[in-house]
Amino acid sequence: MNETEALREAVRAMVQTGIPSGLEPHGGFDAALWATLDEHGMTRVGIPEEYGGEGGGLHEAAAIVDEASYAAAFVPLADTLLVSNWLLSRAGVKVPGASRVAVALGGTLSATSRDGDTVVSGRLDRVSWAGACDRLAIVLAHEGGEGLAVVSRDALEIIPGRNIAGEPTAAVVLDNVAIGADAIAGLPVSASASEVMVRGALARAVQMTGAMRSALAISIAHTSAREQFGRPLSKFQAIQQLLAQAASEVAAATAATDGAVRTAGAGGDAEFEVAAAKIRVGLAAGAVARITHHVHGAIGLTKEYRLQLLTRRLWAWRDEYGSEAFWERRLADHVAGMDAAALWDRIVA
């Protein structure tokens, strides 16, 4: 067993102790599971030790996210490991321990200077996991570039909400929040707001891949156990064809996501690969959700059954950090700037 598989097994054992299938924790956040994961250092993998991390790379962090998504765990591992921790470390800021930092993009923010402070006002909508965060990381204009400010939850107005997966995705209001000059860290170009979008899209692709694998496994188990006309559903050719189609979608999504993780983990510009992955995974998610509910029938929609926890996540995550249409435009911009040889080299890399 290699180190990554050992890491997967450890996470698998932890997430199985979380909220029972079909039941959502109060507020959409499993605090007990988060405490367990943090105690074992799983919330800080992929970040160098000098920034408060546990070491390891993107590949290891993605493996943890994949396992948590497979289990439909109600914890912000993807947003923490693949987005906020990465952003903090790029700004030279140590990642926190058990506390959680949500990352806000977009919205309408205004920043003015007053007595040496930067005073920020505005509203940020649909901030992932803002309803369960301790602090909020926002990207601001800073010294001719971009800077990162981490604001305490106490300085924010959180308007509770959830996405269709039941995750605490809330609106955040900043009303004349004063941020000292020494509390804003400069961001390199590799961690700009645009790059945060790329990183977030990669996180959602990894999550969707894990959730799709789980939905397929549940469907195979269900059709093997459920009988009609004296034989298992899995023996009917129509069901076999549907499951084969779902399996091919999962395989294509996994290949695209693995390629994006490899490129991003190597430290290069991964927008081309991440865009392709987010598009392909999003299309696969729609097909897998449709097929798995088809072979389950009504039981797949009941609250006590785990399938709906997975498919609701697929529907929510498809649109977060950019829909397929958004990334198709970004990918087209890349392709338009390449000659045929360069494009082919990028595709086969």
Question: Each residue of 197-218: pLDDT tens digit?
Answer: 999 999 999 999 999 999 999 9
- Judgement on whether residues 198 and 273 belong to the same structural domain of the protein: yes
Give burial (CB, 10 Å; 0-12/13-18/19+) of 192: middle
- Judgement on whether residues 127 and 55 belong to the same structural domain of the protein: no
Nearest residue to 29 via CA among 107, 124, 134, 104? 134
The whole-number average pLDDT for the span 332-342 is 90
Tally of domains within the chain:
3
Residue 58 and residue 81: Cα distance in Å, rounded? 9
The domain of 265 spans 192-348
Indicate whether 95 belongs to any domain. Answer: no
Asked if residue 58 lies in contact with residue 264, where contact means CB atoms within 8 angstroms, the answer is yes
Has residue 80 got a pLDDT over 70?
yes
CATH number at residue 28: 1.10.540.10
Asked if residue 83 lies in contact with residue 133, where contact means CB atoms within 8 angstroms, the answer is no
Question: Each residue of 284-322: pLDDT tens digit?
Answer: 999 999 999 999 999 998 888 899 999 999 999 999 999
245 vs 104 pLDDT, higher one: 245
- Judgement on whether residues 184 and 204 belong to the same structural domain of the protein: no
**Residue where one domain finishes, among candidates 90, 109, 133:** 90
pLDDT score at 332: 94
CATH number at residue 202: 1.20.140.10
Q: Report angle CA 60, 62, 67 to the nearest 5 degrees.
A: 100
Banded pLDDT at 71 (limits 50, 70, 90): very high
Question: Each residue of 134-155: pLDDT tens digit?
Answer: 999 998 877 778 889 999 999 9
pTM for the model stands at: 0.94
Residue 334 and residue 7: Cα distance in Å, rounded? 35
**Residue where one domain finishes, among candidates 170, 188, 206:** 188
Q: Are strands 227-228 and 231-232 parallel, antiparallel or unpaired?
A: antiparallel
Has residue 277 got a pLDDT over 80?
yes
Which distant-in-sequence residues (6+ apart) come within 8 Å of 313 by Cβ? 69, 72, 165, 167, 207, 208, 211
Indicate whether 287 belongs to any domain. Answer: yes
pLDDT score at 20: 67
- Judgement on whether residues 197 and 244 belong to the same structural domain of the protein: yes
Residue with tokens 């497979």: 70
The whole-number average pLDDT for the span 117-124 is 90
The whole-number average pLDDT for the span 64-76 is 95
The CA–CA distances, whole Å, from 20 to 31, 222, 304, 305, 338 equal 14, 18, 9, 10, 49
Query: How high does pLDDT run on average in the chain?
Result: 91
Nearest residue to 259 via CA among 42, 106, 15, 59? 59
98-107, 116-125, 293-302, 303-312 — which is least confidently predicted? 98-107
Banded pLDDT at 253 (limits 50, 70, 90): very high
Token pair, residue 112, equals 């003015």
Has residue 91 got a pLDDT over 60?
yes
Banded pLDDT at 257 (limits 50, 70, 90): very high
High-pLDDT (> 70) share of the chain, %: 98
Asked if residue 184 lies in contact with residue 140, where contact means CB atoms within 8 angstroms, the answer is yes
**Residue where one domain finishes, among candidates 60, 90, 120:** 90
Has residue 21 got a pLDDT over 70?
no
- Judgement on whether residues 111 and 215 belong to the same structural domain of the protein: no
